[in-house]
């Protein structure tokens, strides 16, 4: 019988809505999504770990990660670089998600630039699809990817949240650079 993974789930109020934080027993974030998209998050968890491959148990501040998320929303945007993640997905998807974590706070790149950075320059559409199926939003900053013409393009949490996150990061990168 396959092992059933135990994941801890915390619900965190943020300035732009309730965030769902799913963490494994080792302290790795497995999913991070908005409460209004909880069905999508659960569907991705089932896809990655199997219908009966995991259980969710309510927890408050598992492994101190709620505090780090709150610090991010409070302006300490670099703290998300300290948050460990572990994702399922294909090797290609994981390479895209690793590439996302290398985009500096307060900056953006296009899908084409991201494809080149992971040595898959011709796979722009596949990079876009992998970006869109990122199970760990914010920490794996898919919101930092924009269209080649500089326009805001799709974000699983909605374009208003994407705009807010980008402005929040730009503001706090400038603020910390001034100090």
CATH code of residue 57: 3.30.160
From 82, 99, 115, the end of a domain falls on 82
Reported pTM: 0.91
Mean pLDDT, residues 45-60 taken together: 94
Say yes or no: 97 and 45 in one domain: no
- For residue 124, what are the domain limits? 91-178
Say yes or no: 75 and 114 in one domain: no
Determine the straight-line distance between the first and last CA of the chain, rounded to whole angstroms: 55
Which positions ≥6 away from 109 have C-beta within 8 Å?
103, 117, 144, 145, 146
From 82, 103, 135, the end of a domain falls on 82
- Total domains in the chain come to 2
**65: pLDDT strictly greater than 60:** yes
Residue showing tokens 């899908």: 111
Say yes or no: 27 and 97 in one domain: no
Mean pLDDT, residues 89-106 taken together: 94
61 in catalytic set: no
Nearest in space to 57 (alpha carbons), one of 94, 14, 7: 7
CATH number at residue 103: 1.10.10.10
Say yes or no: 102 and 160 in one domain: yes
Which among 45, 103, 118, 142 is annotated as catalytic?
Answer: 142
């Amino acid at each position: 019988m396959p092992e059933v993974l135990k994941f801890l789930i915390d619900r965190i109020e943020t300035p732009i809505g309730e965030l769902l934080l799913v963490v494994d027993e080792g302290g790795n974030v497995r999913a991070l999504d908005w409460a209004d998209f909880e069905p999508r998050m659960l569907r991705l968890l089932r896809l990655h770990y199997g219908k009966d491959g995991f259980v969710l148990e309510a927890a408050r501040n598992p492994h101190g990660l709620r505090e780090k998320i709150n610090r991010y929303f409070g302006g300490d945007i670099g703290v998300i670089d300290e948050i460990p993640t572990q994702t399922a997905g294909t090797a290609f998807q994981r390479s895209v998600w690793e590439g996302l974590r290398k985009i500096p706070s307060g900056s953006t790149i296009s899908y084409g630039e991201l494809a080149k950075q992971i040595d898959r320059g011709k796979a722009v559409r596949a990079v876009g699809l992998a970006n869109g199926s990122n199970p760990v939003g914010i920490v794996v900053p898919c919101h930092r990817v924009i269209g080649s013409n500089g326009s805001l393009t799709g974000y699983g949490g909605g374009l208003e949240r994407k705009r807010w996150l980008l402005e929040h990061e730009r503001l706090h990168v400038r603020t910390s650079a001034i100090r």
